[in-house]
Structure 1
């Protein structure tokens, strides 16, 4: 019996010892596995880099010059005063743009749309502009405005709804779906969406409505145009009558967005005939969202020094302000407005205050990021003013697309240069990537107009797709 018990104890002890050794080995193996890096298997996700296909370039024009109050039965009716003479073109080697017409709310009015399709997956740049001359008892003057791409938000600076003004807001929808548009008028009471400020603009159509019908009694209005459903092109036609004498007409293009640093090049000051008490050069400026102080600087073209020290202008959020820029010698100027908050603005200039006078609203020019096209219309001899608000020297080349002329000028920081142009011509401008600002001005006997050059579209950025 004792021998068997010894044998059982021996085998039991052997098993316990073996189990202990196995457990210890397992612990050592686990500790070693934790300490030693395991082999890993990684798989990079499949990705495809692609450049989005460019869309067609679309420009919508202001259309015919319109007149208010010519119908004795309906004083608020709008009619056609003069059609627009158009100039349009594309870069060298591209197919000409296709011109179509919008359905207009005013009988007999003609409003054109120019479309340029992309070629070889490259966007086609297109430029177009129009002008009109009116010489009627109730409306006279010269108007010129570029055709612009539609936007979902834009700003109209200019005009009035006081006695003698007959201003018209023109909204165009060159797209394929209807646009719901909201007009917010900034005036003496701040921003207001007036009755009639909400409208639907059908696809491929243009609507015109009286500004006085939206906000009566405003001497310095600014209008924000917001669109949903489809982008739209907005234009403000403004005209003035002084004691039964027409005092000019203009078609004011929209500003894309507020900016804390706006530059308005090419403000052409003509020798006026009005009394010294009349303000011939007026800056209208608005800070839509915040109280701020703006610095206004006026610099003659080709000169480094401003005409005076910067003017400090306090701005209250939502309230437009008109500033008399004082008596300026006849020549071209660049007006710059800098503030800590984004602002919009425009400069009003007139040829005089008597019979046959004309005026123009000059709006800010955006920075030219890439080589861009612009066109000159029928009318007085045009000129291009290029301002360089950057800290870098800019070599600016202006070429006629048809190859008839080419001019290169070096524009120093803080200065501007003038280029003489021909009417009814398409030009390209290239500043080598320096963000210069450019504006076209047309000045003649009792004729005044001007508009900024907008930057061409930059190439679409590549996008990464993960299938």
Structure 2
């Protein structure tokens, strides 16, 4: 072998060895880079916290009691049956501005109230309305709270079967039109009926839609109202005629959202006063008819199990055994709460998926009887204004979900009622009577839930107390 060949062989071997070593080092480096932590540099993004200027506070009432079908030449025509008496105001400052909406094809509509912010703080505003009908096709007492308009609302109550003449009320107090879609949940699940798609609610108007036109034949409907363009106030007027006898009327307010825990406060079971029942017994002794107390529930999007518990006010133990109820997704279910005696109750629902709910309660099924739908009460953790309507003496039921007692002030604003400091026991409730036609402020030192109820001779109504929406939350801006 020549010296040149030996040199070439040596240089080739050296290159091969070097290449192999480099490959092995690269592989080791890659594996090491994968498994060993790399140094990181973290920098918080620039953020600016700001508090937006508060908007005007606005609430809308349900309006007069309406009647449908009185005109034999126009069965769908709606007429004003009884005007609504409204009580309202603000906690302090200038009186709220009042505007009357126009009900489409009917005439003067519900009242809307608004109050401008004072010193960059929103003004708490409250109002309630009530009316009593005593006519051949409509009879009973209705009372409801005036509520702020919402982009999404649930109406739990009513029926579209024979004898019911229920109406969906859509009010737009804003300055621009709202486009609304109505979804009806029934035995076949959620459906958007032809009459519920892309409804335009003009600014400053209320539109009335018969529930039977949306859900004909549905015995236990739940209605979802979704709006774009502007928030609207949705409510339901429910009434019934049994044979030729009117069996009551109610105005049912919206449920703002589905929740895994619902508390329906102030469900009032009156004595059975039917003509064939004899004299009314003392409180706590009479059982109402078996069909007089019914809970309606819906799990909109998922199957759920809901535990239903009923407590008497001022009682720590349930008055009936808690029951687990299976709910199908998108299909409402009614559950009878039988065996409740005369008194005031708290109904709680704990579910493993969000649900909406309401309790139907009647005074009986004879002439002169009435009914009411009681909806869940949201948490109230800040001083919140509410108004008691004209009608029977109202009572407030306050529920404390915490493990410690809570002190709650009920302060009369206009001097018509007395101011009270109440202690609500841990995981308990209290109920006290208030003055009608009066403004109060509910002042809890911890979150509570509360409902108002009115019961009298042939009259029944109730609605929850909503928290004040007077604190503008801070927002974080990332430039």
* Same-fold status (TM-score > 0.5): yes
User: What are the equivalent positions in structure 2 for 1:61-460 lying under 5 Å apart?
Assistant: 61-92=61-92, 94-198=93-197, 199-273=199-273, 278-403=290-415, 404-432=417-445, 434-457=446-469, 459-460=471-472
Q: 1:109 to 1:311 in 2, by over 3 A?
A: farther
**Root-mean-square deviation (Å):** 1.8
CA–CA distance in 1 between the matches of 2:179 and 2:70?
A: 29
For the residue of structure 1 that corresponds to 2:230, the secondary structure is coil
CA–CA distance in 2 between the matches of 1:47 and 1:151?
A: 30
CA contact (8 A) 2:125 2:385 kept: yes
CA–CA distance in 1 between the matches of 2:97 and 2:404?
A: 39
Displacement, 1:273? 4.2
TM-score computed with the length of structure 1 as normaliser: 0.88
CA–CA distance in 2 between the matches of 1:460 and 1:136?
A: 46
CA–CA distance in 2 between the matches of 1:121 and 1:178?
A: 28
Q: 1:405 to 1:68 in 2, by over 3 A?
A: same
CA contact (8 A) 1:86 1:377 kept: yes
For the residue of structure 2 that corresponds to 1:214, the secondary structure is helix
Displacement, 1:204? 1.1
Deviations 1:355-386 (A, max 9, x none): 01000000000000211010011100000000
CA contact (8 A) 1:68 1:75 kept: yes
| More displaced stretch, 266-275 vs 123-132 | 266-275
CA–CA distance in 1 between the matches of 2:384 and 2:110?
A: 24
Structure 1 unmatched ranges of 5 or more: 1-43
CA contact (8 A) 2:289 2:364 kept: no
CA contact (8 A) 2:178 2:231 kept: yes
CA contact (8 A) 2:121 2:470 kept: no
Displacement, 1:460? 1.9
Q: Hey, what does 1:14 align to over in structure 2?
A: none
| More displaced stretch, 108-117 vs 80-89 | 108-117
Deviations 1:137-167 (A, max 9, x none): 1110000011000100010000001111000
CA–CA distance in 2 between the matches of 1:458 and 1:114?
A: 15
CA contact (8 A) 1:62 1:251 kept: yes
TM-score computed with the length of structure 2 as normaliser: 0.86
CA contact (8 A) 2:122 2:470 kept: no
Deviations 1:203-244 (A, max 9, x none): 111100100011110110000000011110001000011110
CA–CA distance in 2 between the matches of 1:80 and 1:47?
A: 54
For the residue of structure 2 that corresponds to 1:196, the secondary structure is helix
CA–CA distance in 2 between the matches of 1:47 and 1:330?
A: 58
CA–CA distance in 2 between the matches of 1:466 and 1:286?
A: 40
CA–CA distance in 1 between the matches of 2:117 and 2:439?
A: 19
Displacement, 1:68? 1.2
Displacement, 1:47? 7.5
CA contact (8 A) 1:370 1:458 kept: no
Asked which structure has the greater CA Rg, the reply is: 1
**How many pairs were matched up?**
423
CA–CA distance in 1 between the matches of 2:133 and 2:382?
A: 36
Q: Hey, what does 2:284 align to over in structure 1?
A: none
CA–CA distance in 2 between the matches of 1:298 and 1:49?
A: 44
CA–CA distance in 2 between the matches of 1:125 and 1:392?
A: 28
